[in-house]
């Protein structure tokens, strides 16, 4: 069973969100990295990029497939984790410690559309 951290919010597209003040830190869930398999490439969008909900924030490639990472919130990217480009395997080792971007949210109400940890657990059980 995939680990689901209780203090995070989740998107149905399997991104996790940690909120501090008006900044959302975003990565992919343990479930997502498990489904992808061994990740061999990861890239985040550049700082100062404006994103809307469901815009691509970055991408990952694994031995199985390639996938975009989608934004669960709208706003401006204020930090990008460029370490993932050199060490994409960090995501497999620690998906909750391997964030992609930090976004200064333009509308905190976007968070209302995300799943709690309990709701996300139920969601992935149904997949």
Domains of the chain: 9-106 (2.40.50.100)
Element (H, E) at 84: helix 83-86
Query: What rounded mean pLDDT belongs to the chain?
Result: 96
The tokens describing 96, both together, are 């909750």
pTM: 0.96
Q: What is the mean pLDDT of residues 88-102?
A: 96
Strands (E), 4-124: 9-10, 15-20, 23-28, 39-44, 50-51, 56-62, 66-70, 75-80, 101-105
Per the CB < 8 A criterion, the answer to whether 41 and 88 are in contact is yes
Q: What is the mean pLDDT of residues 80-98?
A: 96
What are the pLDDT digits (tens) for 16-59? 999 999 999 999 999 999 999 999 999 999 999 999 999 999 99
């Amino acid at each position: 069973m995939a680990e689901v951290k209780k203090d995070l919010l989740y998107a149905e597209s399997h991104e996790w969100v940690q909120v501090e003040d008006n900044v959302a830190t975003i990565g992919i869930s343990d479930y997502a990295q498990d489904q992808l398999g061994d990740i061999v490439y990861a890239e985040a969008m550049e700082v100062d990029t404006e994103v809307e909900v469901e815009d691509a924030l970055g991408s990952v490639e694994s031995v199985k497939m390639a996938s975009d990472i989608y934004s669960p919130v709208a706003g401006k990217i204020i930090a990008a984790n460029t370490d993932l480009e050199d060490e994409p395997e960090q995501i497999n080792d620690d998906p909750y410690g391997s964030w992609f971007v930090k976004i200064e949210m333009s509308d905190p109400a976007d968070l209302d559309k995300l799943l709690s940890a309990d709701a996300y657990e139920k969601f992935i059980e149904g997949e």
